[in-house]
């Protein structure tokens, strides 16, 4: 993973205009140097966070395209599957029709065979009788009534022979037609089976392609998790730096106050949170609590580092306790964010503030319940809500233990 960050130069110096009294000037300037150092460090941390953000965006864009690839291959696979089903149905129909044609062919052959046999026995009977023709039968009649009887008999034999011959001709036509039909159907069946094989191969290739893409997606997920962990560390680092900066500023003010007795009493030290209950930062129901949660679809465990309060866009957000604004601006996945330091290593973070919704600035002292911002949906957010994180000595803790 590339780790290139921009380190912005020249951080603005907060207390440059002040001139401490001689004797304590060195101490004050040392504190000021420390503040400047921390400021540079936090600028670097901010740069690091924004570089990580770019990485996250790029991996997420890759993921989006990978997901689209999966969708497109799923659609292709559906198509192939539908073609295979259609073909299977056709093959089944052709096979049934082929079986029926074969049965009809067999029956026609049997019928012809039977008739041929009948004709043969009749012909051989005539031969056995000594080459007697129909005419001879008629000429051999005793009298006219005998002649009529014989004529009737001969006529019926002739009729039967004609019927047999005609039936045979019809059946022979059927045989020829069925043979041709079977030949054609066998040919098309063969073609269909080849096509089915081709489609099955295609489906298998698509399956393998899908597996490959899924693995790619998994890799990207892992990468993203890694980057996010890094981002998490960087943003905590930043909050710690901001806390240290405020502590240093407090010390600087105290030194300065001791140095110049003239304006004693005009300065009050930044407030320190006594450890009591917080003010509710926004009015809204809890939509997602602090802690691990399982993604409903992906079934992946994810750590949620704060409490989410669902509230309409523009709802006022209040400082949970008195303190100093340590940071006010865009911060990684939290979007527009305010961080307030309450002293004693305790900070609160308010995320997803609407564009233009921050009403305090860095270094400003705020009292408990003072409006600091308005609810929005900036950063990684799906709808307007306040993401509220409590940081105690560099650890993210459950905000509810301060709110109940």
DSSP 20: P
Residues contacting residue 402 through CB under 8 Å, at least 6 positions apart: 277, 278, 320, 390
For the bound state, the minimum distance from the C-beta of residue 348 to Zn ion, rounded and expressed in Å, comes to 14
Two structure tokens written together for 288: 């997602």
The reply on whether position 352 binds Zn ion by CB under 5 A is no
Under the criterion CB under 5 A, does residue 178 sit at the interface with Zn ion?
Answer: no
Our CB check for Zn ion shows the closer of 309 and 324 to be 309
CB 44, min distance to Zn ion, A: 26
Among 36, 253, 255, 308, binds Zn ion (CB under 5 A): 308
CB of 302 to Zn ion, least distance (A): 11
Nearer to Zn ion, 48 or 387 (CB): 387
Q: What is the CA radius of gyration of the chain?
A: 48
Which of 10-18, 157-165, 231-239, 386-394 is the region at the interface with Zn ion (rule: CB under 5 A)?
Answer: 386-394
CA 339/CA 326 separation, integer angstroms:
5
Judged by DSSP in three states, 338 sits in strand
Q: What minimum distance in Å lies between the beta carbon of 385 and Zn ion?
A: 7
Q: How far is the CB of 61 from Zn ion (least distance, A)?
A: 23
Asked if residue 314 lies in contact with residue 284, where contact means CB atoms within 8 angstroms, the answer is no
Q: At closest approach, how far in Å is the CB of 322 from Zn ion? A: 24
Measured CA distances, 263 to 14, 246, 250, 253, 304 (Å)? 19, 21, 16, 12, 47
291: left (phi over 0), alpha (psi -120 to 50) or beta: left
Structure tokens at 36: 């400047």
Residue whose C-beta lies closest to Zn ion: 387
Region near Zn ion per CB under 5 A, out of 64-72, 128-136, 263-271, 387-395:
387-395
Output the smallest distance, CB 284 to Zn ion, in A.
13
CA angle, residues 194, 200, 205, in degrees to nearest 5: 130
Nearer to Zn ion, 20 or 379 (CB): 379
Rounded least distance, CB 288 to Zn ion, Å: 6
User: Considering only 42-50, 57-65, 116-124, 302-310, which stretch makes contact with Zn ion by CB under 5 A?
Assistant: 302-310
Q: What kind and span of H or E run contains 372? A: strand 371-375
Q: How many residues contact Zn ion, by CB under 5 A?
A: 2
With contacts defined by CB under 5 A, name the span among 60-68, 271-279, 318-326, 382-390 that binds Zn ion.
Answer: 382-390
Window contacting Zn ion (CB under 5 A); options: 43-51, 76-84, 129-137, 379-387: 379-387
Q: Spell 345-383 as b/e; 16+ CB within 10 A means b.
A: ebbbbbbbbbeebbbbebeebbebebebbbbbbbbebee
Q: How far is the CB of 336 from Zn ion (least distance, A)?
A: 14
Tokens of 396: 């993210």
The Cα-based distances of 232 to 151, 244, 330, 339 in angstroms read 117, 18, 15, 15
CA distance 391 to 399: 9
Site stretch for Zn ion (CB under 5 A), options 118-126, 174-182, 250-258, 381-389: 381-389
Q: Residue 353 CB, nearest distance to Zn ion (Å)? A: 13
Task: From 71-79, 158-166, 212-220, 380-388, give the range in contact with Zn ion by CB under 5 A.
Answer: 380-388
Residue among 245 and 387 whose Cβ is closer to Zn ion: 387
Distance separating alpha carbons of residues 316 and 307, to the nearest angstrom? 17
> Nearer to Zn ion by C-beta: 16 or 395?
395
Check residue 387 for interaction with Zn ion (CB under 5 A): yes
Choice between 35 and 309, CB closer to Zn ion? 309
Q: Between residues 289 and 314, which has the closer beta carbon with respect to Zn ion?
A: 289
Asked whether the beta carbons of 339 and 239 are under 8 A apart, the reply is: yes
Of residues 267 and 303, the one with the C-beta less far from Zn ion: 303
Residues that bind Zn ion (CB under 5 A): 308, 387
């Amino acid at each position: 993973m590339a780790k290139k960050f921009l380190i912005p130069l020249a951080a603005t110096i907060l207390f440059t205009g002040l001139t401490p009294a001689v004797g304590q000037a060195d101490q004050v300037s040392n504190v000021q140097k420390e503040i400047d150092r921390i400021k540079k460090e936090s600028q670097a941390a901010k740069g690091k966070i924004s570089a990580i953000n770019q990485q996250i965006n790029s991996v997420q864009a890759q993921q989006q395209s990978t997901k689209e690839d999966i969708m497109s291959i799923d659609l292709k696979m559906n198509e192939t599957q539908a073609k295979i089903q259609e073909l299977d149905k056709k093959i089944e129909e052709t096979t049934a029709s082929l079986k029926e044609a074969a049965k009809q062919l067999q029956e026609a052959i049997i019928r012809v065979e039977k008739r041929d046999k009948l004709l043969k026995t009749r012909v051989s009977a005539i031969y056995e009788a000594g080459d007697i023709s129909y005419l001879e039968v008629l000429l051999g009649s005793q009298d006219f009534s005998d002649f009529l009887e014989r004529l009737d008999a001969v006529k019926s034999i002739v009729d039967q022979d004609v019927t047999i011959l005609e039936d045979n001709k019809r059946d022979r036509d059927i045989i020829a037609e069925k043979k041709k039909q079977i030949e054609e159907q066998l040919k098309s069946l063969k073609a269909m089976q080849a096509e089915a094989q081709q489609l099955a191969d295609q489906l298998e290739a698509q399956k393998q392609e899908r597996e490959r893409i899924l693995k790619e997606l998994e890799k990207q997920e892992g990468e993203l998790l890694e980057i996010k962990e890094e981002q998490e560390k960087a943003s905590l680092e930043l909050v710690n730096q901001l806390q240290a900066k405020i502590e240093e500023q407090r010390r600087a003010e105290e030194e300065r106050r001791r140095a110049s007795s003239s304006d004693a009493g005009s300065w009050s030290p930044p407030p320190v949170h006594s450890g009591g209950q917080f003010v509710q930062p926004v009015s809204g129901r809890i939509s997602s609590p602090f802690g691990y949660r399982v993604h409903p679809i992906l079934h992946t465990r994810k750590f949620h580092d704060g409490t989410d309060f669902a509230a309409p866009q523009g709802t006022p957000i209040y400082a949970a306790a008195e303190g100093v604004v340590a940071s006010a601006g865009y911060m990684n996945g939290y979007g527009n964010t305010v961080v307030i330091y309450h002293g004693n290593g305790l900070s609160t973070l308010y995320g997803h503030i609407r564009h233009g919704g921050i009403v305090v600035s860095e270094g400003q002292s705020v009292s408990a319940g003072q409006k600091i911002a308005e609810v929005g949906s900036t950063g990684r957010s799906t709808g307007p809500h306040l993401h509220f994180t409590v940081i105690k000595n560099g650890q993210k803790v459950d905000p509810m233990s301060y709110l109940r």
